[in-house]
Amino acid sequence: MDPYDIVFYPLITEKTVSMMEKENKLVFIVSRKAKKPDIKDAIEKLYEIEVERLSVLIQPDGRKRALVKLREEYLADEVATKMGVF
């Protein structure tokens, strides 16, 4: 499966920016059909990072959100800057 079919876009809100700074986490909106291993592989391929931990939840509006904890050697705010978020 193509990584672009799994990961749609990063979610940037005040809360997710706070998570970037304090917890070294990024948040993405992903396909409802994607499983955790597929999401992890897609994020690692697309953004050339290593994922330490991944959790997913389905929002009340039906979108699936992936919370990605990055390994220590990757800083979430630097990765977000490379993605063009800031």
- What's this model's pTM, rounded to 2 decimal places? 0.93
Output the pLDDT for position 85.
86
pLDDT tens readout for residues 28-58: 999 999 999 999 999 999 999 999 999 999 9
Question: What residue ranges do the domains of the chain occupy?
Answer: 3-83
CATH among 3.40.50.2300, 3.30.70.330, 3.30.1330.10, 3.40.630.30 for 3-83: 3.30.70.330
What value does the mean pLDDT of the chain take? 96
Percentage above 90 pLDDT, the chain: 95
Check: CB of residue 11 under 8 Å from CB of residue 65: yes
